[in-house]
Chain A
Amino acid sequence: MTNLSVKEKDLVRSFFTQVSGKLDEIGHQALSRMLTVYPQTKTYFSHWKDLTPGSEPVRKHGKTIMEGVKEAVNTIDDLPAGLVNLSELHAYTLRVDPSNFKILSHCILVVLSMMFPGDFTPEVHVAMDKFLTNVALALSEKYR
C-alpha cells in the first residue's frame, strides 16, 4: 500500500467535495465505460436484465459504487479498517478478480477528467490514482 502524503489526502478530500454533487452521474459514466470498453467485465453481471449505458441496473449500480468510494474517502486514514465490510463482501461473495479494480479505477479517472476539465489537474490525478489503488488493495485484503 503506497502511503498518501497529507497533501495528497487533502487533495482527494477537497476534490471529492467538489464533485460530490455529481456522484451518481460519475458512477453511471464510469460503469458504462467499463462495460463497453472492457466487455469481459460484463461476465459479472449476467444476472442483470439490461447492461446498456443509461439502463436502470447500470445507473443504480454506478451509484452504489460511488457511495462505496465516498465511504473510502471518509476513512482515508485507515482504508483496510474502514472498508472491512466491503472487503468481506468482495472476498467471499462477489469474488471479483482484482485485475478488474484497476480497470474500473481507470474508467473513474477518465470520467473525472471528462466531467471536470481543468479541475482534474495532474496533481489531483496522481492523488486520486494512488487513493483508488489503495482502495482496491483494501477491497482485496481478505481474498486469500
Chain B
Amino acid sequence: MVEWTAAERHAIVGLWGKMNVDELGPLAIQRLLIVYPWTQRYFTSFGDVSSPAAIRGNAKVGNHGKVVMGGLDRAIKNMDNIKGVYKDLSVMHSEKLHVDPDNFRVGALLSDCITVVVAEKFGPHVFTPEVQEAWQKFLNVVTSALSRQYH
C-alpha cells in the first residue's frame, strides 16, 4: 500500500489542478515519438508517424495524448487505490495493446516525456525539486499499477 505524505498529496493534486490535459497530453506523446522513435511501433494504425512533422500534424496522435493524460485523472482521484483502479487498464495494455511495460516506467520513455513537458509548462518556482519528487513518485505508482497484470 502506497503511503503519501500530506505534502506529496498537496503537491500532486495542486499540480494536476493547474494542468491542461488537452494541451500537455499531445505534447507528451509527440515528444515520446520523436525522442524515442522505436515507440512508433505502437502507433502504426494512426497513419503517418514517421517524421517529426508527420507526428506533430497527426490528429490521432494528439488525441491519444489527451486519452493517456486523461487516464491519469483516475489515479489522481483514487490515490489510495491506484492499483485497483488500474487493473483493467493493465490487462488491456498487456493483452490487447501488447505494450512493453518498460515504456511506461519512470526512468524511461513516457513518464520522462510527461515530466519534461510538465517542467516546461510550470517552470522552477512551481515545479520545485520537492514537487518533482512527488510527481515522479506518483508516476512510479501509476506505471507499477499498469505493469502489474502482465504475465
B-binding residues in A (CB < 8 A): 29, 32-33, 35-37, 53, 102-103, 106, 109-111, 113-115, 117-118, 120, 122-123, 125-126, 129
Known: A33-B129, A37-B132, A125-B35. A113 touches B30 (CB 8 A): no
Nearest-Cβ distance from residue B123 to partner chain A, whole angstroms: 6
CB-nearest residue of chain B to A127: B35
Whether A117 pairs with B112 at a CB distance below 8 angstroms is no
**Does B66 count as interface, using CB distance less than 8 angstroms?**
no
Instruction: Report the bound CA distance from A114 to B36 in whole Å.
Output: 20
Whether A29 pairs with B132 at a CB distance below 8 angstroms is no
CB-CB contacts below 8 Å: B125-142 with A: 127, 129-130, 132-133, 136
Interface size for chain B: under 10, 10 to 19, 20 to 34, or 35 or more residues?
A: 20 to 34
Whether A114 pairs with B31 at a CB distance below 8 angstroms is no
A-binding residues in B (CB < 8 A): 30-31, 34-36, 52, 107, 112, 115-117, 119-124, 127, 129-130, 132-133, 136
6 cross-chain pairs, A with B, having the tightest CB-CB distances, nearest first: A122-B34, A36-B129, A114-B119, A113-B120, A126-B35, A37-B133
A contacts with B: majority SS: helix
Known: A122-B30, A122-B52. A106 touches B107 (CB 8 A): yes
CB-nearest residue of chain A to B56: A122
Instruction: Report the bound CA distance from A91 to B52 in whole Å.
Output: 38
Nearest-Cβ distance from residue A100 to partner chain B, whole angstroms: 12
Residues of chain A contacted by B129 (CB below 8 angstroms) = 32-33, 35-37, 53
Instruction: Report the bound CA distance from A36 to B119 in whole Å.
Output: 16
Whether A126 pairs with B34 at a CB distance below 8 angstroms is yes
Residues of chain B contacted by A33 (CB below 8 angstroms) = 129, 132
Nearest-Cβ distance from residue A9 to partner chain B, whole angstroms: 17
